[in-house]
Amino acid sequence: MTESAYKALCECRDKFRAITEEIQAALPCLQKLQQSLVDGRKGPRYKVETPVVYNTALDELGPSSDIRLILVGDNPGRREQAAENRRYLVGPSGKIAENFFRKEAVLCLDFRKNVLILNKTPVHTPRTADLRELCGMGGETTRRVIETSQESMARLLADFYRALRVPVWITGYSEMRRHGVFERYTDELEAATRRGGLDRESVYLYRHFSMNQFTIDLRQKTPPGVPIAQTLPAIGAAYREKILF
């Protein structure tokens, strides 16, 4: 990337770190609430180690890095928040995403080298739907901080886009609808496009990678004999028009 692009990327990383630090400072009891969520649900038990997760994979980017796509997920899960990871999309969904890009070689994208990964909020929960319960447990302050975190991450996406000028894939569009968990993220994203900070034609929406929703949906919407890579933009644009604009 150019010198100016790398400088802008570094500024975005600094903003990202600041966002996570501000959330943690505003919610000192967050880790205790998250642990209560883990202990009270069915499924694997684990220790909450990173309540608010900055994607440390970004720290490995340098001036020679070749970022060709920005991909946005929901929020950090069990494996993402583990102290040994603190990276985005490293659990089952991440493996599905990695396999998708490997299989669709025509896209010429190495998931771990050419894709910059963000989330709609850096606040960890065992499942994305648990964000609602977390807000209920923590009260008005927690709800307000989590909503503000979504707005901050939407603005951060626009900042990264201006630095890199690459396509943006946002996965998990269903909770971006009105009254969804990520409604505030959607509102701020729309505001960013109106301000001119994000090119709407560069934004594509898709289903989750989790449980193969992403690939199953693409296959269902791709005519027989037509490579998925050819239908990807049209599918992503259709969801964009349905949800965002």
Low-confidence winner among 16-20, 40-44, 103-107, 122-126 (lowest mean pLDDT): 40-44
Mean pLDDT calculated for residue range 199-209: 96
Residue 110: per-residue pLDDT: 96
Place of tokens 């340098």: 62
Q: Which two tokens stand for residue 24?
A: 């943690």
**73-121 confidence digits (pLDDT tens):** 999 999 999 999 999 999 999 999 999 999 999 999 999 999 999 999 9
Residue 15: how many other CB atoms lie within 10 Å: 14
Task: Give me the chain's average pLDDT, please.
Answer: 96
**157-191 confidence digits (pLDDT tens):** 999 999 999 999 999 999 999 999 999 999 999 99
Per-residue confidence band for 203, with pLDDT thresholds at 50, 70 and 90 = very high
The residue count of the chain comes to: 245
Residue 44: per-residue pLDDT: 87
| Centroid of chain to Cα 180 | 15
Residue 135: per-residue pLDDT: 96
Q: How far apart are CA 9 and CA 3, in angstroms?
A: 10
Per-residue confidence band for 42, with pLDDT thresholds at 50, 70 and 90 = confident
Per-residue confidence band for 41, with pLDDT thresholds at 50, 70 and 90 = confident
Q: What is the DSSP string of 49-103?
A: --SB---GGGGG--TT----EEEEES---HHHHSTTT--SS-SHHHHHHHHHHHH
Helix (H, G, I), strand (E, B) or coil at 173: helix
Task: Inform me whether the pLDDT recorded for 245 exceeds 80.
Answer: no
Q: Above pLDDT 90, what percent of the chain?
A: 94
Please choose, from the candidates 16, 20, 9, the residue with its C-alpha nearest in 3D space to the C-alpha of residue 53.
Answer: 20
Residue 42 parent element (H or E):
none
Structural domains of the chain sorted by starting position, each given as residue range(s) with its CATH number in brackets? 3-243 (3.40.470)
Position with higher pLDDT, 42 vs 245: 42
Task: Inform me whether the pLDDT recorded for 244 exceeds 90.
Answer: no
Q: What is the DSSP string of 94-131?
A: HHHHHHHHHH-GGG---TTTTEEEEES--B--SSTTHH
Residue 194: how many other CB atoms lie within 10 Å: 11
Residue 57: per-residue pLDDT: 98
Residue 19: per-residue pLDDT: 98
Q: Which two tokens stand for residue 146?
A: 């989590």
Mean pLDDT calculated for residue range 17-40: 97
Q: How far apart are CA 170 and CA 240, in angstroms?
A: 9
**211-224 confidence digits (pLDDT tens):** 999 999 999 999 99
Mean pLDDT calculated for residue range 229-239: 95
Residue 229: per-residue pLDDT: 87
